[in-house]
Amino acid sequence: MLSWKENIGVLGVALFGFVLLLPLAQGAERKTLEGTITDAMCGVTHKAGMSAAACTNGCVNMGSKYALVVGDTVYTLEGKSGELKALAGEKVKLTGTVDGKAVQVESVGKS
């Protein structure tokens, strides 16, 4: 049998673990967003003389991530890279798991 000091220690460790994991459980949620496919480096401003699609795909080929601009917010995108490449520069409706400013893309199509 544990002493009262050991019981308090076990309770403290359990409470500490719960407090650490609580934000993770609350952070990500499934959402549908509408915006424009771009890349994280350029955002809404692309290189002069290039189409938004060409600039976006060129930047992604150099290591940038695909992104979705919704108003003033830029979300980085993970997954569905083939579909994102085909829709670069286009206005889209995208569904995915949003965690802060990152989205794990589940589906995307023209809006």
| 56 closest CA partner among 28, 20, 92 | 92
Do residues 35 and 91 touch, judged by C-beta distance below 8 A?
Answer: yes
Do residues 67 and 43 touch, judged by C-beta distance below 8 A?
Answer: yes
Query: How do residues 54-85 score in pLDDT, each as one tens digit?
Result: 999 999 999 999 999 999 999 999 999 999 99
pLDDT of 61 reads: 96
pLDDT of 10 reads: 47
pLDDT of 46 reads: 84
pLDDT < 50 stretches in the chain: 10-17, 19, 22-23
pLDDT of 15 reads: 45
